[in-house]
A and B are shown apart, each in its own frame.
Chain A
Amino acid sequence: MSRLTLFTFQILVAVITLVLWYLLTSVPVSGGKPLFPPFFFSNPVDVIERIIKWFADGTIWRHLWITLSEATLAFVIGAVGGILVGFWFARQPRVAAVFDPYVKMINALPRIVLAPIFTLWFGLGIWSKVALGVTLVFFIVFFNVYQGIKEVSPTVLANARMLGMNERQLMRHVYWPSALSWVFSSLHTSVGFAVVGAVVGEYLGSAAGLDYLILQAEGTFDIAGVFAGMFVLAAFVIVIDGVVTLVERRLLVWRPTAADTRT
């Protein structure tokens, strides 16, 4: 399938869905009412109007900005923490052995139970959401760094030592790139979880943010508002994922893709 045909089909799916949605919620069937009552399902015209209104009067930008800052902060803090602790544990097996059961315990804990505590500690502002995101991102990055250092090929390591690398050079030229490649390969997951942390945190109590918008609409049975918020959130996540893909391509050029592997 050529790119153009593929794109046409992809667009077609969206168009058919929207048309079906519109027809089901606005064309009266027996009894003079549509099959799906608009009160529960809204309709695409209202939703698009709402999105346009949000962007036109500019209310959406503040909420987008809040959610983006929460996710970004959660990712940066979680990633830096995960990298530092991952390196520390991987290079100090005794420390890792001591902390191992606790790491497993915290990782097994559903992070959402921490949300009320974070709200108590950090209030309704962005920091309680950042904290929730950090607990999610940290473990993904941590496990990947740890694995990345442990899984350095023994031959590559022996070669590095035979080439005269000291401990610092081993860190820089062997452990660091290996760990980083693992972190980057899990970038989609960890960035996704940073967004999840922000959104779930907002849902459980907030004063601003994309999910705050959705929550407000839900509270007043404003279904068009709920759907509009969902679409903006979905578009937001797709944009972030696209940026991650770009970063990944730039940073992992050395890694073979399935298509160009040669032996």
Chain B
Amino acid sequence: MADEVAEAEAAARANVAPAVVLSDVTIAFHLVGGSTYTAVEQASLTVADGEFVSIVGPTGCGKSTLLNVAAGLLAPSAGTAEIFGKPLAGLNRQSGYLFQAEALFPWKTAIDNVAIALETGGVGRQEAHARAQEWLTRVGLGAFGGRYPHMLSGGQRKRVGLAQVLIRDPKILLMDEPFGPLDAQTRQIMGNLLLDLWNADRKAVMFVTHDLEEAIALSDRVVIMSAGPAARIIGDWRVPLSRPRDISEVRLEKAFHELHREICHVLKDEVLKGYAQTGGG
């Protein structure tokens, strides 16, 4: 395992500037009453350009917090974040963020939701709409442009969200349990859609999930975080599966099972530790 991490880091270094480098990032929150809560402690993570990395950990371990640092939505208390070799100051303009919660503008139709992502950058309304329509078609919602978010199903809303993020052509894709609230079938369909889109144009991806199977099926690398508070990165595995993949088929491969068993072993201890600390909640 250690060899693999070294190899990954060497590969990242060879590629002059990796997409994301988090070095010794510590994130602490000041609580009411003067005490501090350390969510993440000294986490270091490198994501190469075009690499799909999943971050897996028990609930409440600070995975999303780490993602917010990469997005520039949150400044780390200690440590640095570098994006393509440059220190990150303010929002990460080269990234697109797919949120776990509902993030579409409820007062805009699907197509307006997608088009606005271009319009903010100064693209004209007509061109933005034409390109938004292309993207809606690409995510399988070509005929649903006129619907408002509340008229779409949960999976359809995630598709609109995906189109909204990808139409800006970000170099880095940050995803915070994007398919969390969806049912198992829809998750698989969405996973395959994501892989298809990513295969067509490989961006660096940081994918946060608590679902280890999903992480292995999608990623090039799986990073495991320990239970919070003061969560650390405790493991980093390269996924030895070929691409392109089909999520439901890849789960039947032997390599998948071996890796799953190996990681599961490490993760189980952490989940139990997490339970013990939060009193089973």
Q: Which residues of A contact B (CB under 8 A)?
A: 153, 155-156, 158-166, 169, 173-174, 177-178, 181, 253-256, 260-263
Q: Is A155 a contact partner of B148 (Cβ separation < 8 A)?
A: no
Flag B68-96 by CB within 8 Å of A: 1 or 0 each.
Answer: 00010100000000000000000101011
Contact with A along B86-121 (1 / 0, CB 8 A): 000001010111010111111111000000110011
- Min CB distance B155 to A, Å, is 11
Instruction: Determine the chain A residues whose CB is within 8 A of the CB of B97 once the complex forms.
Output: 158-159, 162
B116 CB contacts on chain A under 8 angstroms: 163, 173
Assess the A156–B103 pair: CB atoms within 8 A: yes
Instruction: Other than A158-B97, A160-B105, A262-B150, give 11 A-B pairs with Cβ distance below 8 A.
Output: A158-B103, A159-B103, A159-B104, A162-B71, A162-B73, A162-B91, A162-B95, A163-B120, A163-B164, A173-B116, A254-B148
Q: A164 near B120 (CB under 8 angstroms)?
A: yes
Taken together as a complex, chains A and B put the C-alpha atoms of A162 and B97 apart, in Å, by 7
Quick one: which of A163, A173, A177 contacts B168, CB cutoff 8 A? Answer: A163
Out of B73, B91, B148, B152, name the residue touching A253 (CB < 8 Å): B148
Known A-B contacts A164-B120, A262-B153; A155 and B107 likewise in contact (beta carbons under 8 Å): no
Q: Is the CB of B108 within 8 A of A254?
A: yes
Size category, B interface: 20 to 34
* Cα A225 to Cα B121 with chains together (Å): 64
B120 with A177: CB separation less than 8 A:
no
CA distance A181 to B153 in the complex (A): 22
Q: Which residues of A contact B152 (CB under 8 A)?
A: 262
**What are 18 A-to-B residue pairs whose CB atoms are below 8 Å?**
A153-B101, A153-B103, A155-B103, A156-B104, A156-B105, A158-B97, A159-B97, A160-B105, A161-B91, A162-B71, A163-B116, A164-B168, A165-B120, A173-B105, A254-B106, A254-B107, A254-B149, A255-B106
User: Would you call A263 and B153 a contact (CB within 8 A)?
Assistant: yes
Residues of A within 8 A of B168 (CB): 163-164
Q: Given the complex, which residues of A lie within 8 Å of B150, measured CB to CB?
A: 254-256, 260-262
Chain B nearest CB, measured from A148 CB (Å): 11
B contact residues around A255 at 8 Å (CB): 106, 150
A155 touches B101 (CB 8 A): yes
Q: B151 at interface (Cβ–Cβ under 8 A)?
A: yes
Cα distance A174–B149 when bound, in Å?
15
Residues in A with CB closer than 8 Å to B106 are 156, 254-255
CB neighbours (8 Å) of B93 from chain A are 164
Roughly how many angstroms separate A160 CA and B108 CA in the complex, as a whole number? 13
Complex Cα distance A159/B158, Å? 13
A177-B107 contact given A155-B101, A260-B151, CB 8 Å threshold: yes
- Cα–Cα, bound, A174→B105 (Å): 8
* Alpha-carbon distance between A260 and B150 when the two chains are bound, in angstroms: 8
Residues of B within 8 A of A166 (CB): 120
Contact A181 B107, CB 8 Å, known A163-B168, A164-B121, A254-B148: yes
Query: B145: CB under 8 A from chain A?
Result: no
- Interface flag for B235 (CB, 8 Å): no
- Are A169's CB and B153's CB within 8 A? no
B229 within 8 A of A: no
Question: B142 at interface (Cβ–Cβ under 8 A)?
Answer: no
Instruction: Write out, one digit per residue, whether chain B residues 229-258 have a CB within 8 A of any chain A CB (1) or not (0).
Output: 000000000000000000000000000000
